[in-house]
Structure 1
Amino acid sequence: MGCDRNCGLITGAVIGAILAVFGGILMPVGDTLIQKTIKKEVVLEEGTTAFKNWVKTGTEIYRQFWIFDVQNPEEVMMNSSNIQVKQRGPYTYRVRFLAKENITQDPKDNTVSFLQPNGAIFEPSLSVGTEADNFTVLNLAVAAAAHIYPNPFVQVVLNSLINKSKSSMFQVRTLRELLWGYTDPFLSLVPYPVTTRVGMFYPYNNTADGVYKVFNGKDSISKVAIIDTYKGKRSIYAVFESDVNLKGIPVYRFVLPSKAFASPVQNPDNHCFCTEKIISKNCTSSGVLDISKCKEGKPVYISLPHFLYASPDVSETTDGLNPNEEEHRTYLDIEPITGFTLQFAKRLQINLLVKPSNKIQVLKRLKRNYIVPILWLNETGTIGDEKAKMFRSQVTGKINLLGLIEMILLSVGVVMFVAFMISYCACRSKPIK
């Protein structure tokens, strides 16, 4: 009788130990199995679920524009006053709905390169007005011509053409013209061959952006679709900020740090963006990056909206800006197991440099340099409710279920082992009658 009782208690303890050990083993083994299963479908190669969704995304991506409408153009031209701007927007377009092209795998570094065809469809229901809305903005051709051609004699010729075309430092343009292009009256008079069409994103439709080079995830799924290079050069980076719950899916939020727009003095990696020594205070100003080399010499500067993170001297010539992190920073929400970006907000401001010119009448009264904000954009995308539900069931749901099973086995096993061992020891200490 005593043997039966003790044997039963020992058997229960052994079963508990087995369950606990099994639960403990299942943690690394089960996680590895799920990782392998997921990896097969999330790498960017022909035949995987991820590749099909990546080539042509099913998520709707929107690009919102806010235009800086200049309120005092005459005061600026005549008295070199601060530019007073009023933000108007959003004007929303659907973008990135076309399938990627020229997709090429590179097995040497586990990357895939591609071109992203450009297309934009105006969304009236998500906009404050129409594409025919008018704005007073900087004259793009006049500002760029004075910068591209610093020679005094050439500027005298340009001045006569500017006057003849009745062009000025500022102009009134519709949203459609400003974004996608218009025939400029001043450039139309230039005797030698030049592009007479001007626009912040001209040309756009029926063109392609890239070449992009992204990681395919074969060596590490945490790097899936992360940009390695863009047009063969360094891409801007993001840093981890916090854990976020997105529609029931745990994600990591990465943000664009202020250091990415810091001066070369603070961040030597940005030395190639400082080519204009005057406007950047000998490369000590922060918050703007000179991308004129990418824009055929046009004096284009990019920044975060409302000059977020910029040094005070950058915005000292402009009134009406109100930078804040919540509205104007860039972030990515990345699911850590698959490496997928499930939500993002890419925010960027486009500015043009204007300098005084003694030979061009409409710029003659300026007494200082201006970095003039033209517009800022917010390109956003969020995983849809249906895809989030599918993601929860096929990825996070399986992982959570496995974790629950592991914890139940481990907990039940430990409790059984301890309880039966205590009972066994207690019974052994009692004499059998």
Structure 2
Amino acid sequence: FSIEEKKTHIVMNPNGTVTFKISRKWFFDKESSNGTLDDIVTTLNAVAMSAATTAKDWSRLMTSPLSIAMIQTGQKIYIQKKVGDLLFFGYKDPLLDIADSLPKFIGVDIPFDKFGWFYKRNESSDFEGVFNMNTGVNDIYQLGRLHNWNYYNFTNFYDEPCDMVNGSAGELFPPNQTKEKAIEFYSADLCRSLKLTFKEEEVIHGITGYKYTGNEYTFDNGTLDPSNECFCNGACSPAGVLNVTSCRYGAPGFVSFPHFYLADKFYLDQVEGMRPDAAKHTLFITLQPETGIPLDVAARFQINILLSPIEKFSLFKNVPTIYFPMIWFEQRATITSRLAWQVKFALAAPLIGQIVSFLFIVGGVAVMAYYLYLIVPY
């Protein structure tokens, strides 16, 4: 897929911030794909698993009808669907209709009539929320930093202080970046901020940039860094995955790097076919350090569903416990050669200004000398 992105609902605020939403439009790139959106794939039944997980602590009086409904509607542990339906188009599932009919006091609020990993996201300006970002007009070193997201500087999806909205919006960074200091950005998809540390220098279109990458600390469970324990949401999994259940309508979702790259060996032993590769699966942002301009960005994540035995539901009563990989994706953006030329010009502007000033001074001295030569008699 190729992506077009634009900012919408832009409002410039008197406090030096700008409020906006983000709309993304995906286009299927048939020429670059080795399949079609009509291809059939077999995958875990995420809707049924999510329903069972959400209801596992309910009383038998409430779970028994739901368990029977799963059987009567023909729910299976695995399903076969078209790629397009799993991604953007979505597919109908009777369990979603049942969830929509439940009394509001139960606390199940799913704003979708179909299920798809990116359903209703294409061309939506509401999916990622409302961003309020510092413009740097009052302090250039605050450029790009988020002031709040959805009108708050915290999310309530994790325990404090992991719920804080920190860092950049991911597209603009303050100038004068260093190798010693990590960069931080907020991801609306993960409902949290992420820190990347300097890895190496990289040359892109003739511009030297600092490459910052995700590492073992990114999805740490508090083993390496105790301050990360508040991302566990009460029950820490082995290191290498992030529990996003609270920010994804109660679905047992866990995010990792693709192929469980940098994750505990526990996950690799559960699933066949995992081949973690730093070159293919590293999350990174390369910045031009003086300006903070992104030169190359690769957002790479994997969505996993926790399949686990749930006694109250016969469909899942005897299943093993597996963090089941559902889909992994990469969003890649690299500066074009034309924009790179503009960055080079901006970097050279101070030097050009000095040279021009020097030439003006030399020219002025030369003109004055010539004038004196004309008026001074011999």
Short-chain TM bin: 0.7 to 0.9
Summarize the Cα distance change of 1:166–1:356 in structure 2 as closer, same or farther, 3 Å threshold.
Answer: same
What is the number of residues matched between the two proteins? 307
> Alpha carbons of 1:191 and 1:404: their partners in 2 closer, same or farther (altered >3 Å)?
closer
Distance 1:329 1:219, change over 3 A: farther
Matches within 5 A, 1:248-259: 248-259=206-217
One-letter amino acid matched to 1:201: F
Q: What SS is found at the alignment partner of 1:365? A: coil
Asked if the contact 2:10–2:18 (Cα under 8 Å) also holds between the matched residues in 1, the reply is: no
Q: Which of the residues 263, 281, 287 maps onto 2:240? A: 287
Report what 1:238 is aligned to. Answer: 196
What's the counterpart of residue 309 of structure 2?
356
How far off is 1:191 after superposition? 8.0
Q: Which residue of 2 aligns with 1:200?
A: 117
Aligned AA for 2:143?
V
1:185 maps to what in 2?
A: 94
Alpha-carbon distance, 1:220 to partner: 5.5
Q: Distance in 2 between matches of 1:226 and 1:330?
A: 20
Q: How far apart, in 1, do the equivalents of 2:52 and 2:234 lie?
A: 14
* Cα 1:404/1:258, change in 2 over 3 Å: farther
Query: 2:3, 2:24 within 8 Å by CA — same for their partners in 1?
Result: no
Question: What CA distance in whole angstroms lies between the structure 1 residues aligned with 2:7 and 2:91?
Answer: 28
Partner in structure 1 of residue 341 of structure 2:
389
Tell me how far apart the structure 1 counterparts of residues 208 and 275 of structure 2 sit (CA, whole Å): 32
1:115 alignment partner, one of 21, 27, 32: 21
Determine the C-alpha separation between the residues in 1 that align with 2:271 and 2:74. 26
> Which of 47, 55, 71 in structure 2 is aligned with 1:141?
47
Match of 1:373 in 2: 325
Q: Measure how far apart 1:104 and its partner are.
A: 4.0
Structure 2 residue 134 is matched with structure 1 residue 225:
no
Q: Which aligned runs of 4 or more in structure 1 are off by greater than 6 angstroms?
A: 402-406
Q: So what's the TM-score if we normalise by structure 2?
A: 0.73
> Is residue 45–residue 78 contact of structure 2 (8 Å, CA) maintained in 1?
yes
1:274 alignment partner in structure 2: 232
In structure 1, give the amino acid aligned to 2:315. Answer: V
> Cα deviation per residue 1:309-367 (whole Å; 9 max; x = unaligned)?
1112233321111112111111111112221112100111111112112332321221x
Q: 1:167·1:186 contact (CA, 8 Å) conserved in 2?
A: no
Q: Does the 8 Å contact 2:223/2:239 carry over to 1?
A: no
Alpha-carbon shift at residue 167 of structure 1 (Å): 1.5
Instruction: Give 1:310's aligned amino acid.
Output: A
Q: TM-score, normalised by structure 1?
A: 0.64
Unmatched 5+ stretches in structure 2: 103-109, 155-164, 166-192, 358-378
Is 1:329 matched up with 2:235?
no
Query: Within 2, Cα distance between the matches of 1:258 and 1:226?
Result: 24
Aligned to 2:69: 161
1:144 Cα deviation from its structure 2 partner: 0.2
Contact 1:212–1:227 (Cα < 8 Å) also in 2: yes
Q: Using a 3 Å threshold, how does the CA distance of structure 1 residues 189 and 230 change in structure 2: closer, same or farther?
A: closer
Q: 1:316 to 1:215 in 2, by over 3 A?
A: farther
Letter in 2 for 1:192: S
Q: 1:212 is matched by which residue type in structure 2? A: F
Identity of counterpart residues, as a percentage?
A: 24
Q: Which runs of 5 or more residues in structure 1 are unaligned? A: 1-91, 407-433
1:85 counterpart residue number:
none
Task: Kindly indicate which of the two structures has a greater share of residues assigned to helix.
Answer: 1
Contact 1:94-1:123 at 8 Å conserved across structures: no
AA partner of residue 316 (structure 1): D
The CA RMSD measured in Å over matched residues stands at: 2.8
Distance 1:230 1:272 in 2: 20
Instruction: Determine if contact 1:188/1:196 at 8 Å carries over to the other structure.
Output: yes
Deviation of residue 178 (structure 1)? Answer: 1.0
Question: What secondary structure sits across from 2:266 in the alignment?
Answer: helix
| Letter paired with 1:248 | G
